Structure 1
């Protein structure tokens, strides 16, 4: 039996002693499946450049219940509320790849220039895939900002192995981590998987985040399959007032390969309804070409899904890098 190089701990309903898994929904895609997808055709070409909105220059802080969320690109967002500045899955690198000379290359610059970032207090990293855990960016942030780095189990070993000063707090699903002043982050399950290479699949945990604030919760799902939707209905039950859900809408084709790990826009709308969030913000599209769909297909399909569900488009916002969702008044 292989040894887990990142984490050692008791077995649970989502850890078998060596690998993590989604209870009742194990990740079952093989290398043969991967090759079938990669060589199966059907990939829609992307443009070499897909400009975002003008660069955002965020304020130093957003006080009280004001909520300001900047789209940086792909899954990276800056959340400012109650005086805290929180970065989720920050990626400023040119490629989402283990090497600098190959792999998915961004088609727009980050929506905030690195030098224009406000002081960063908290960095949340959802899992270890290269489009979410960018160690070059995390090291660059560490040299400039004295933040707390918080991530699921096992990922600390990856981080410190690459940069000995990248210390991280790690937590399991179900954890509540205080951020101070009545704010906390909860680690919630999602249907996904993890790997940095060929020999470490499922050896570090992944998670969705629920940021608890006195004005309502902020639900950030980095990557997930929909499955039966039970996870998202349970999130809504546990947190009856979700002020904002930040939901993925891209990287979903072909469905036979992606449905277990990435929702499509129709499923993202289902998540919005399941969890009962007041509003949603789309992410995980339009920066790195990871899958088969065209660059503008996710927002187009989202619009169709919202119309079919009878949900006003302003309730589920789509914005390019540099775009800002600014909710400055209390809900």
Structure 2
């Protein structure tokens, strides 16, 4: 504990809570990220599936409308955890990454295997950006700089990430929040910042110094749940979402980057767990994200989509209710 106290938090300073010990954030009754020795054991196992350098497109790049009005809810997959949500006249991006690599380096690290499902120049005016945590496949400073210059959106993010973004993107409109906070957007829309089971780091010396979160977007057209990046954690947070919010018209849930389970299970759910999560949070429809764009873990590129279908069939859920979205795919989510 003394050594931890000496390592000051570079991103956030605040009072202790049930998920902040005064220096670092943590998952209540949860598991911390693996140790460096475990990381090496995994990396040296030699069990990673080979991915193609590029993958064939299932859908052409989308060209979204400027706005979606009335009770419509349209969702377009850009790639990985980046989706465009259009409803109630608002255009919302989740964890926007347009860079060719999810890495601090331009020449190394996980490389995008197909272009984004929307060309950056074809984005409609972006009002709001949700950044769930600071891992490179979710918080891309180069993309945030582009968004600031072209759209000047409001960015909502968990505690500590505002310091990182604000230093790199001067003048960006930032709103940083703790779990349980509610942010009024206007026109009947609000964003709730909610707990997920994960962690954060940009390097080896800032682990858990910034908070991680999911988001609930409350709109006149129904609630949308974006779980960010999460382990299943015995379904605790999914049950909490159902208790607090009643249910969802739509949920965006991660289904990839889950193998090997001995290392990844606490932080990344698999497709079977995602289906359980959909049921537990009472979502009418769901989209699978966090798969097929960057090779991060051991499973084959197409396994998450295949295992999602198997899990839906096993649990008697119609396949059209939970789709593994591909870049460029557009979903007009039915009303409930």
Offset from partner CA, 1:207-260 (integer Å, 9 cap, x none): 000101122210011111112112101101211130001111000000000000
Q: Which residue of 2 aligns with 1:5?
A: 10
Q: What RMSD, in angstroms, separates the aligned Cα atoms of the two structures?
A: 1.0
Which residue number corresponds to residue 224 of structure 1? 230
* Corresponding residue number in structure 2 for 1:38: 43
**Aligned length in residues:** 330
Partner SS state of residue 140, structure 1: helix
Contact 1:156 1:167 in 2 (8 A): no
Matched position secondary structure for 2:231:
coil
Shift, 1:162, TM fit: 1.7
TM-score (norm 2): 0.96
Asked whether 1:20 is paired with 2:25, we answer yes
Counterpart for residue 247 of structure 2: 241
- Cα distance in 2 for residues equivalent to 1:146 and 1:319: 27
2:110 to 96, 100, 104: 104
Shift of the alpha carbon at 1:51?
2.9
For the residue of structure 1 that corresponds to 2:146, the secondary structure is helix
SS in 2 for 1:170: strand
Q: Which runs of 5+ in 2 are unaligned?
A: none
Q: 1:96: Cα distance to partner?
A: 0.1
1:290 and 2:299 matched:
no
Aligned partners of 1:159 and 1:167 also within 8 Å: no
* 2:157 counterpart of 1:155: no
Q: CA offset at residue 146 of structure 1? A: 2.0
Pick from 56, 78, 93: which aligns with 2:84?
78
Contact 1:216 1:241 in 2 (8 A): no
What displacement does 1:28 show? 4.3
- Which 10-residue stretch deviates more, 284-293 or 24-33? 24-33
Task: Find out whether 1:192 has 2:198 as its counterpart.
Answer: yes
Once the two structures are superposed, the pairs formed by residues 195-274 of structure 1 within 5 Å of their partners are 195-274=201-280
> Partners in 2 of 1:180 and 1:36 — Cα distance?
49
Q: What's 1:47 paired with?
A: 52
Gaps of 5+ in 1: none
Alignment partners' CA distance in 2, 1:176 and 1:107? 36
Matches of 1:28 and 1:282, distance apart in 2: 23
Which residues in structure 2 correspond to 1:304-319 (within 5 Å)?
304-319=310-325
Post-superposition Cα deviations, 1:277-324, rounded to whole Å, max 9, x if no partner, equal: 001111100000000000000001111111111111111012210001
Partners of 2:272 and 2:190 in 1: how far apart? 30
* Contact preservation (8 Å) 1:97, 1:104: yes
Cα offsets for 1:44-76 (capped at 9, x unmatched): 000111133101000000002200000000000
Partner SS state of residue 229, structure 1: helix
Kindly indicate whether the alpha-carbon contact (under 8 Å) linking 1:306 and 1:313 is maintained by their aligned counterparts in 2: yes
Shift of 1:330: 4.2
